[in-house]
Structure 1
Amino acid sequence: MNDLDMVRDLRSEVRQSETNDLHRARRRMLTAVASEPPVRPVRRMVLRVATMGALGVTIMTGVTVVQSLGTDDRERGITSAPAWLSVANAETLATHATAAAAGQTDIYPRADQWVYVKRDYYTSPKLMPEVVVPPIGGGKTGSRYTAEMWTRGDGKERARRNEGGKTIKRRQGGEDPRLRFDPAYLRSLPLEPSALLERLKKDTSVIPLPEARAVSRQILSILQEGVPAARLRAALYTVLSQLDDVGVEKVRDLLGRQGVAIYTHDDEGIRQEVIIDPNTFVLLGARHIYVGGAKSPSPYSELPEGEVIISVAQVSVGIVDDAGDVP
């Protein structure tokens, strides 16, 4: 006798369920379910609180990892990222930033107030002294230093103080939209992504670059130099995510903070990044990295591929009453 014959013999000894039996069993089951007391909402709330607590532990663990970075690694711009940090595409990042910005109030300075920004800079020691590295506009190659900048609310004046210095250098603001990242200019930009794209195309039309490349460069500059408010920042992410040759990657900034880099490549073989906090979507910093594959003569062609040319970390931001004031 094989196994199937044994099963058939055993089954034949058991009375088979009839239709009435099945109906009665179904009614008993439904009655029992209906009589169960509803789940109290408190249980669900406890579960949510527990989940948030676990997330907080995870974030704190990530902070501990960041703080353990060596000074040499930070100064050289070496990057790595923890396993818990999730990275989606630029489109998803923009969607999350837009949702977060919806509940925030945009705060701009008055025309007579100033936006204060403190930044930490690093430049590669392998750069030739004659190479001009934007957006520093100064500083020696192979150095690590801090600078403080002030931009007047109406865009008519800027000021700067280098690390260790007591003198504040003031200069007049420009009207060229390629060089304007002041609060007055930012407030003039539309928040709807398609309208914002058209405005940026118009403002960059005189730049001798392909249209999409000019727009992406302008967006990266605004994010890095302009300190845009939350809704405009999200709109800029959205426009950037819709352009070609835009990607995201997990990185650490100059201070070792974990973030997501939104990047593009230029014709000189430079990968241009802005580094975003994946939780608050504010700017952490920016980097220019030589990756090779230049489509035109490049002043960086003697550098090894992967060399961090410049790395900038945004240390603090605030609104003050006058240049020289600190939040």
Structure 2
Amino acid sequence: MNDLDMVRDLRSEVRRSEESDLHGARRRMLAAMAPKPQSRRLPRTMVRVAAVGVLGVTIAAGVTVVQNLATDPQGKGTASAPAWLPPANAETLAKRATAAAAGQPDVYPRDDQWVYAKRDFYRSTKSAASPNRGGETGSRHTEEMWTRGDGKERARRNEGSEKITRRQGGEDPRLRFDPAYLRSLPLEPSALLERLKRDTSEISLPEARAVFGQILIILQEGAPPARLRAALYTVLSRLDGVAVENVRDLLGREGIGIYTDNEGMRKEVIIDPNTYVLLGGRTVYLGGSTSSPYGELPKGEVILSVAQVATGIVDQAGEVP
């Protein structure tokens, strides 16, 4: 028997598959080949990102609540405003200036050196004492000033002139702003306030106004270093009737004005909101004053404005840093 005969014999013994069997087998095979439905699972990285996102939303919601509490009129909030927000009051501005000044060295000139300050002045001529002349609304000039480190001599020069006017320094604390005087001032705000009260006690003005005026002179004329400057801002924030507003100085620079209103006049110290250096100061007529020569001026008229242009330390009067 050959091999083909053997295959025929074996095949003849096998039952032929019925059509129904073939259909059933086909269904089972196709069912086995079909992909099983699986629950969709995110990669582990995506799960972590989603969790962080949810946490971020929760934190953001929490911050919103805290910030709302901080502005609650009942004062129950404890959160402080972000540094990029403009200060709501003089105290906040003073605190930021103090933090920025922490660790900065106190640079004063030697007794034989000079503090240099360049300032731009504007003075209104629209008043009863200085009537409008040919449509002129005010006079403007730039001045340079030098103050010797020991306070014994001062010098001035108008811009465009080569003439320097010298005079002796005074010992009157109401007029002192020299480096020797500034070095004697305490940096602790409470002690500084008491010292300024004593130094202005003979000025015939209410105490707060006298201190405010002295601080303005020190800032403009003396160019104090950062830590003393911040302490002076803190003293200003503690005076009665002091508030802040957004203003532009004589040069158009944006600043924060710390001001006080008295007898129809607003006295203002203008501070850079980013560096906390002095930009200048101004006097604004508010109206309603019966004792000033500015009774005919419109409300809001700037009577006097001073912009601090530059400061520095030099070796001789007449030099520029």
TM-score by structure 2 length?
A: 0.70
CA–CA separation in structure 2 for the residues paired with 1:316 and 1:247: 26
Match of 2:299 in 1: 305
Give the CA deviation at 1:302.
2.2
Q: Look up the SS of the partner of 1:323 in the other structure.
A: coil
What code does the residue aligned with 2:315 have? D
Q: Give CA-to-partner distance per residue, 1:150-171, whole Å, 9 cap, x none.
A: 1111111110110211100001
- Equivalent residue runs for 1:144-155 within 5 Å: 144-155=140-151
What code does the residue aligned with 2:314 have? V
Gaps of 5+ in 2: 1-43, 50-83
Q: Look up the SS of the partner of 1:250 in the other structure.
A: strand
Contact 2:288-2:295 within 8 A present in 1 as well: no
CA separation of 1:289/1:85 partners in 2, compared to 1, >3 Å: closer, same or farther?
A: farther
Contact 1:129-1:141 within 8 A present in 2 as well: no
What code does the residue aligned with 2:310 have? S
Match of 1:289 among 258, 278, 284: 284
Say if 2:231 is the partner of 1:235: yes
- Equivalent residue runs for 1:22-41 within 5 Å: none
CA–CA separation in structure 2 for the residues paired with 1:127 and 1:150: 32
Match of 2:122 in 1: 122
What code does the residue aligned with 1:108 have? Y
CA–CA separation in structure 2 for the residues paired with 1:167 and 1:204: 33
CA–CA separation in structure 2 for the residues paired with 1:95 and 1:299: 38
CA separation of 1:283/1:174 partners in 2, compared to 1, >3 Å: closer, same or farther?
A: same
Gaps of 5+ in 1: 1-31, 38-83, 132-139
Q: Look up the SS of the partner of 1:161 in the other structure.
A: strand
Which of 1 and 2 has greater Rg? 2
Match of 2:196 among 189, 194, 200: 200
CA separation of 1:177/1:323 partners in 2, compared to 1, >3 Å: closer, same or farther?
A: same
What code does the residue aligned with 1:279 have? N
Contact 2:111-2:148 within 8 A present in 1 as well: yes
Give the CA deviation at 1:129.
5.6
Match of 2:64 in 1: none
CA–CA separation in structure 2 for the residues paired with 1:315 and 1:213: 26
- Equivalent residue runs for 1:161-200 within 5 Å: 161-200=157-196
Give the CA deviation at 1:301.
1.7
Q: Give CA-to-partner distance per residue, 1:282-303, whole Å, 9 cap, x none.
A: 0011111111233x61122222
Contact 1:127-1:142 within 8 A present in 2 as well: no
Contact 1:87-1:249 within 8 A present in 2 as well: no
Question: Among the aligned pairs, what percent are the same residue?
Answer: 74
What code does the residue aligned with 2:271 have? I
Give the CA deviation at 1:315.
0.8
User: How many positions carry a matched residue from both structures?
Assistant: 239
Match of 2:16 in 1: none
> Greater relative contact order: 1 or 2 (C-alpha under 8 angstroms, separation 6 or more)?
1
Give the CA deviation at 1:228.
1.1
Match of 1:77 in 2: none
CA–CA separation in structure 2 for the residues paired with 1:175 and 1:128: 35
Match of 2:76 in 1: none
What code does the residue aligned with 1:231 have? R
What code does the residue aligned with 2:270 have? I
List 4+ stretches of structure 1 deviating above 4 A.
128-131
CA separation of 1:127/1:322 partners in 2, compared to 1, >3 Å: closer, same or farther?
A: farther
Q: Look up the SS of the partner of 1:143 in the other structure.
A: strand
Give the CA deviation at 1:312.
1.1
What code does the residue aligned with 1:163 have? E
CA–CA separation in structure 2 for the residues paired with 1:179 and 1:233: 18
Match of 2:273 in 1: 278
